[in-house]
Amino acid sequence: MKYFLIILLIIFLAGFFVWRGIYLPQDSDSTEEIAFLVKKGEGAKEISVNLKEQGLIKYNSLFRVYVLVKGVAGELKAGEYELSPAMTTPEIVNKLASGEVIKKIITIIEGWNLRDIGWYFENKGMFMAEELFELAGFPLIDYSETTDLPPPKDFSQEFDFLEDKPENLGLEGYLFPDTYEISSEDGIEDIVRKILTNFDKKLTLELKEKITSQGKSIFEIITTASLLEKEVKTFKDKKIVSGILEKRLKNGIPLQVDATIIYITGKKTTRISKKETEIDSPYNTYRYRDLPLGPISNPGIESIMAAIYPEDSPYLYYLSTTEGETIFSGTLEEHNIAKAKYLK
């Protein structure tokens, strides 16, 4: 009887120890929030050790026992979590198993180009700009003309809207401007894929069919939209300018889009010099009578819609004032008068 009572006492104490280690928090009075990172490939053993080291649980062995009994040892997801010493082991496990990670917000602005997006990531301490360029393509680079750089990743097997994009160009134009939720475990490729997925949703089947019915490619539309995004402010004016650009292309008139020169030089200005208009680049719409080699920015949906639905008008020329107003002209003489008046 005596030994039986001792065994019962041992069992009771062991059970209480296990219960206490699992269901009582490390510090119930704590108000501290700790960013806890689960790296890709880490299992319950590594996670439990890290939790104990950061003061979030009392016993890493009991953590492992709990997830094994619950059958969730293989379901703990990678990512960054906001945890507290005031949380119990079940509460921590529920978070890790549900993937309730800390979300970060990134915003790509309409009209940003690859340089802008690369510097944005770099300034936020997320990635070096060059990491984006290596994946999505370096600005201005024609990969059929260079052997110094590895080609960007080909996403065309995943996204059909990229099928008509020339293989020698990167993803300029296709990184859709929007606000995105990402986690700390998302790599640059994960983020780019998320952005392309969003682009695919925005460019609906109806819009794709409209583009096809016009005998145009998605690539041509995105290239035109990238010009409109940088040149014109309002949707109404974008549609008119879209019609002007189409008219000039049909008549073999150089587009003479200042934004293409700025894309080449990388300057943060709206003014260009005559010398800059003579730069020998396939993006120079002063020198070459066609669309530039590829997009010069990443356009928003309004610019894409304007490129798909150009508006006919009596105009052949336009300019943008420093206040963002668009001035239209039907003749070169009228255009020159407008330049003298508005671009002093």
Neighbours of 141 (CB within 10 A): 21
pLDDT at 271: 81
Do 221 and 330 reside in the same domain of the chain? Answer: yes
CA angle, 273 as apex, 267 and 279 as ends, to 5°?
Answer: 80
Do 215 and 261 reside in the same domain of the chain? Answer: yes
Do 169 and 281 reside in the same domain of the chain? Answer: no
The CATH number covering residue 51 comes to 3.30.1490.480
Do 63 and 174 reside in the same domain of the chain? Answer: no
Alpha carbons 73 and 22: distance in angstroms, whole number = 15
Alpha-carbon distances of 240 from 221, 303, 310, 311, rounded to whole Å: 15, 11, 6, 5
Do 66 and 139 reside in the same domain of the chain? Answer: no
The number of distinct structural domains making up the chain is 3
Residue 15 falls inside a structural domain: no
Q: Give the ranges where 158-300 is alpha helix by DSSP (H).
A: 188-202, 205-213, 218-231, 235-250, 258-265
Concatenated DSSP letters of 43-66: -HHHHHHHHHHTTS-S-HHHHHHH
Structure tokens at 278: 């003579």
Do 187 and 226 reside in the same domain of the chain? Answer: no
pLDDT at 21: 56
pLDDT at 200: 97
Reference 200, options 229, 169, 158; nearest CA is 158
Could you tell me what percent of the chain has a pLDDT over 70?
93
Do 73 and 183 reside in the same domain of the chain? Answer: no
Do 223 and 337 reside in the same domain of the chain? Answer: yes
Q: Are 16 and 24 in contact (CB under 8 A)?
A: no
18 has a pLDDT exceeding 60: no
Residue 7 falls inside a structural domain: no
Residue 8 falls inside a structural domain: no
Residue 2 falls inside a structural domain: no
Residue 11 falls inside a structural domain: no
Residues spanned by the domain of 192: 105-202
Structure tokens at 163: 């099928």
Do 136 and 90 reside in the same domain of the chain? Answer: no
Residue 6 falls inside a structural domain: no
85 has a pLDDT exceeding 80: yes
Q: Are 62 and 52 in contact (CB under 8 A)?
A: no
Note the pLDDT tens digit of each residue in 197-229.
999 999 999 999 999 999 999 999 999 999 999
How far is CA 246 from its chain centroid?
Answer: 29
Residue 9 falls inside a structural domain: no
pLDDT at 16: 46
Alpha carbons 101 and 104: distance in angstroms, whole number = 9
Residue 162 falls inside a structural domain: yes
Note the pLDDT tens digit of each residue in 275-301.
999 999 999 999 998 999 999 999 999
pLDDT at 7: 62
Last residue of a domain, one of 82, 101, 120: 101
Alpha-carbon distances of 87 from 35, 80, 165, 332, 335, rounded to whole Å: 13, 16, 51, 73, 69
pLDDT at 4: 58
Structure tokens at 50: 């890290």
Q: Are 261 and 277 in contact (CB under 8 A)?
A: yes
pLDDT band at 160 (very low <50, low <70, confident <90, very high): very high
pLDDT band at 90 (very low <50, low <70, confident <90, very high): confident
CA angle, 66 as apex, 62 and 71 as ends, to 5°?
Answer: 150
Distance, first Cα to last Cα, the chain: 106
pLDDT at 322: 77
Last residue of a domain, one of 50, 73, 101: 101
pLDDT band at 13 (very low <50, low <70, confident <90, very high): very low
5 has a pLDDT exceeding 80: no
Last residue of a domain, one of 72, 101, 130: 101
Do 90 and 168 reside in the same domain of the chain? Answer: no
Per-state percent for the chain, helix, strand, coil, to nearest 5: 45, 10, 45
Reference 49, options 64, 34, 39; nearest CA is 64
Q: How would you class 258 by CB atoms within 10 Å of its CB: exposed for 0-12, middle for 13-18, buried for 19 or more?
A: buried
Alpha carbons 90 and 24: distance in angstroms, whole number = 10
Q: What is the dihedral of CA 146, 151, 157, 163, to 10 degrees?
A: -30
**Residue 2 DSSP code:** H
Residues 6+ positions from 29 with CB-CB distance below 8 Å: 86
Region of 42 (left: φ > 0; alpha: ψ -120 to 50; beta: rest) is beta
**pTM > 0.75: yes or no:** yes
Do 115 and 93 reside in the same domain of the chain? Answer: no
Do 74 and 116 reside in the same domain of the chain? Answer: no
Half-sphere exposure of 46 (CA within 13 A, CB side): 12
Structure tokens at 161: 């809207």
Note the pLDDT tens digit of each residue in 236-286.
999 999 999 999 999 999 999 999 999 999 988 778 889 999 999 999 999
